[in-house]
C-alpha cells in the first residue's frame, strides 16, 4: 500500500511540473524557445549547429507589422512562418539558407505578422501548410 501511495503522489506531482512552451501547426507539436525580448529576437537561432526536428523558435511581437528576417550567422536552413494576430498563417519563407556574407537576403512577410515561427527547413512542405492555417499556442 505504501508503494501505491508513493506512486500516486509522483503521478499527481508530475502533472504539476511546468511543461516547456510549445505550438501546434497542422496537428504537429513543436517545443519552442520564446524570443520575446529585443535581445533574444536579434540573436534568434544564430550560431547553432543543429535543432531537434520537433523544436523551433517563436518570435512574439507586441503588434502586427510587416516582418523581415535574414539568416546572417545562422548555420542551419530554416522555414520561416509568419502569423497574424489571429494566429493565421499569412506567408512562409521556405528553405531560408544560412548566410555568411556581409549582405544577406531578406525574407519578408507578405502581410503584417505578430508571430514568427522558425522551424527546420522542409517542415512547410512536409506539413503542406497553406495561408490561413492556424497556429495553436501553448506557452504557459
pTM of the model: 0.83
- Non-local (6+) Cβ contacts of 138 within 8 A are 19, 21, 22, 23, 24
Instruction: List the chain pLDDT tens, one digit each, 140 residues.
Output: 544 334 334 334 444 445 899 999 999 999 999 988 788 877 676 767 888 999 999 999 999 999 999 888 888 999 999 999 999 999 999 999 998 888 889 999 999 999 999 999 999 999 999 999 999 999 98
Closest CA to 52 of 69, 67, 32: 32
* Residue 10: its H or E element: helix 2-14
Closest CA to 51 of 139, 108, 122, 107: 122
- The pLDDT assigned to 43 comes to 66
Domains of the chain: 20-138 (2.60.120.1140)
Maximum alpha-carbon separation in the chain: 68
- The pLDDT assigned to 45 comes to 66
- The pLDDT assigned to 19 comes to 82
Amino acid at each position: 500500500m505504501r508503494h501505491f501511495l508513493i506512486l500516486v503522489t509522483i503521478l499527481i506531482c508530475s502533472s504539476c511540473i511546468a511543461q516547456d512552451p510549445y505550438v501546434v501547426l497542422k496537428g504537429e507539436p513543436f517545443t519552442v524557445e520564446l524570443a520575446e525580448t529585443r535581445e533574444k529576437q536579434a540573436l534568434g537561432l544564430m550560431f547553432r549547429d543543429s535543432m531537434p526536428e520537433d523544436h523551433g523558435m517563436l518570435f512574439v511581437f507586441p503588434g502586427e507589422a510587416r516582418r523581415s528576417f535574414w539568416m546572417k550567422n545562422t548555420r542551419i536552413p530554416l522555414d520561416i512562418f509568419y502569423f497574424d494576430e489571429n494566429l493565421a498563417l499569412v506567408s512562409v519563407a521556405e528553405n531560408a539558407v544560412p548566410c555568411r556574407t556581409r549582405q544577406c537576403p531578406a525574407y519578408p512577410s507578405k502581410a503584417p505578422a505578430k508571430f514568427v515561427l522558425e522551424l527546420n527547413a522542409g517542415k512547410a512542405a512536409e506539413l503542406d501548410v497553406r495561408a490561413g492555417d492556424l497556429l495553436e499556442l501553448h506557452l504557459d
